[in-house]
Structure 1
């Protein structure tokens, strides 16, 4: 058997690497898979999407050709399928980026298995883990009272929290970094300031403690 026959990935070899092979396949099929124009060839291709980021790797551990697809969200990642067909994989990535629902994705692409990933989202991950990490963090102990107050609210605890410049950022969708979000900081005991990000001309607004949760709920989920 010659060297060409032994190569399970001749398309990748001919392209000079996995990233280039994916990019060329997407161009031929008229698909937008979101590969950065600056991405260089490596053993793993990384693709940012509004639903976490995807990685593609070529299996080299066995004698079978397969491209593994994995989805990552903060603090976690899941294998969601593998296929030997680069074109099918490109089609699936494009559909994922377009927001095709999980059930339809599995129906259209038989190699996908989203059960574990979907179950994690339904269980409140990665939001629950992020809250637990922040509430137990010694580094953020100065914000612990504010974090506890926000987490105590049954609605606000469903928002994904991060800490930036001594303020707590709450984001509606942990999978989408540009989803609706609001910043809140404590200026003095019982007094707070709130900023709705992404709104032209928005500025910090002082909010008394008794109105805080109502204002934050409205900023995140109303209108």
Structure 2
């Protein structure tokens, strides 16, 4: 009887729209089939089950479903890069076509998909260029310290299908073009909100990290979290502390005043609730409806106003 029901059910799953699949009631074999169907929608291409090379056939009635997606040959996905021998060579060639003089290093482990562009600018690390595995697209990441001596931080990132644009971004990064100018010159580049600090001044380091926190919150598609970050930044007693997050909880560090290391923790919940804790995973001080209330309670919890902050320990810094 169960086998008689499975056939139509499996066919219904195959024909369902993606949105319908998210609430489809299944168990056992049907659940395995549903998971594979969702996998194929999210990641088009061949997938294997634990008992078959077909996408959706011959599933066991129990046990785990093992899905394996084979990575395409980079020479097939990037034939133009393969023709040059490496991503580094392809970048150099496209740069030369635009009048650029790029020095690019190929990585030995994956020369068709990875390359490094050394920086000629102090305080900037080499720009990392990587090709996507399942789609013809390239990503860049650029980190640095500016004129400070602290831990290197991510400053720019982005992805594009235009390798020529990657070459232009790499040249600008190498030559020390200011970050806002790179953002204007190359449309796919995204700034992280941090800036290249002029020195090791705690005020600059803290302000740069707040810039990152605000930009990250704006990109998070989480209105309550954005409201919390904005409210905390607007409060002078918190704005002078070094901010960082752990599991989306807003925390602070001021090692110059050990008593204020992780002095308070703020959490936002989807739907509008905010939690104030005495410290990370510490006792709950209050649960309130608005970010402004949460920040006000946090400030009151700081029994004495903390002095100027300095960067927290490296493990407490946002990546």
When normalised by structure 1's length, the TM-score is: 0.45
Q: Which structure exhibits the higher relative contact order, with contacts defined as CA atoms closer than 8 Å and separated by 6 or more residues? A: 1
Structure having the higher Rg: 2
When normalised by structure 2's length, the TM-score is: 0.33
Identify, as 1 or 2, the structure richer in strand: 1
